[in-house]
Amino acid sequence: MAKNAVKLRAKAKKGTIDIKCLMSHPMETGLRKDKKSGEKIPAHFIQTVVAEKNGVPFLQADFNSTISKNPYLRVQVEGGKGDEIKVSWTDNKGETGSGSKKSK
């Protein structure tokens, strides 16, 4: 997938890290038709999202085709400045994307 598949912001405050991430993905439902050919566009959507803090998973979410294009996710976890945050996804075609950042 794209080089910047997940854009992250992680900000620590009072023992909590506020994580905001934007995942780049077309998120096709499989129900839309191509305007030129009239053929259905095949389903292509994120199925699993995993978030890690310092290499330890703290969130696993299952998405489906009802989520909009370029999904946005915001989550909070206990932690402080300098913790390494990583968010990665896998879609129904086996493609993956990820992004990581240290909390500020």
- The range of the structural domain enclosing residue 84 comes to 6-27+41-93
pLDDT given for residue 2 in this prediction:
54
What is the average per-residue pLDDT within 64-76? 94
Helix (H/G/I), strand (E/B), else coil: 28: strand
The 3-state secondary structure of the chain, one letter per residue: CCCCCEEEEEEEECCEEEEEEEECCCCECCCCECCCCCCECCCECEEEEEEEECCEEEEEEECCCCCCCCCEEEEEEECCCCCEEEEEEEECCCCEEEEEEECC
78: pLDDT confidence band, cut at 50, 70 and 90?
Answer: very high
What is the average per-residue pLDDT within 34-45? 93
Residue 58, domain CATH: 2.60.40.10
Answer whether residue 103 is part of any domain: no
Query: For the chain, how many structural domains are there in total?
Result: 1
pLDDT given for residue 8 in this prediction:
95
pLDDT over 90 percentage in the chain: 93
> What radius of gyration do the chain's Cα atoms show?
16
